[in-house]
Amino acid sequence: MNKSTITIDVMMNENRVPDSIKWNASDTGAENAQKAKAMMLSFWDGAEKTALRIDLWTQDMMVDEMADFFYQTMMTMADTYGRSTKYNDQVEEMKKFAKQFYSTFRERQLKENKAD
């Protein structure tokens, strides 16, 4: 059996707000840790039937970057759900929601930019 290790280093300021996030995985082949502005990590606790989550983002993560991050995460979650269940109708529903979410965000940004 092979073992893979994922390391996540979070540097925080005095208020415990993340300043930087760096990660590395033993199977990537990358020598240096990769930088990230945000992360979402979920684990499924089968005994308790609950999701355990860690969501962090750095103080320099912009709102438009957060919207992109959520959109892309929702789309890939839909793909993962589809591969594991083969429920393509629900995959399409999830992707439709993600696209509507992103479209609504862009409309909001346009309105806010016009108001400035």
Please check whether residues 1 and 56 belong to one and the same domain: yes
Please check whether residues 30 and 68 belong to one and the same domain: no
Please check whether residues 28 and 39 belong to one and the same domain: yes
**Which pLDDT does position 116 carry in this prediction?**
72
Environment class of 21 (CB within 10 Å of its CB; exposed 0-12, middle 13-18, buried 19+): buried
Please check whether residues 27 and 80 belong to one and the same domain: no
pTM beyond 0.85, yes or no: yes
Percentage of the chain modeled with pLDDT above 70: 100
Please check whether residues 17 and 70 belong to one and the same domain: no
User: What is the count of structural domains for the chain?
Assistant: 2
Q: How far apart are alpha carbons 87 and 28 in whole angstroms? A: 31
**Which pLDDT does position 19 carry in this prediction?**
96
Helix (H) or strand (E) segment spanning residue 47: none
Please check whether residues 45 and 68 belong to one and the same domain: no
pLDDT digits (tens, 9 = 90+) for 62-93: 999 999 999 999 999 999 999 999 999 999 99
Owning domain of residue 71:
62-116
Please check whether residues 114 and 74 belong to one and the same domain: yes
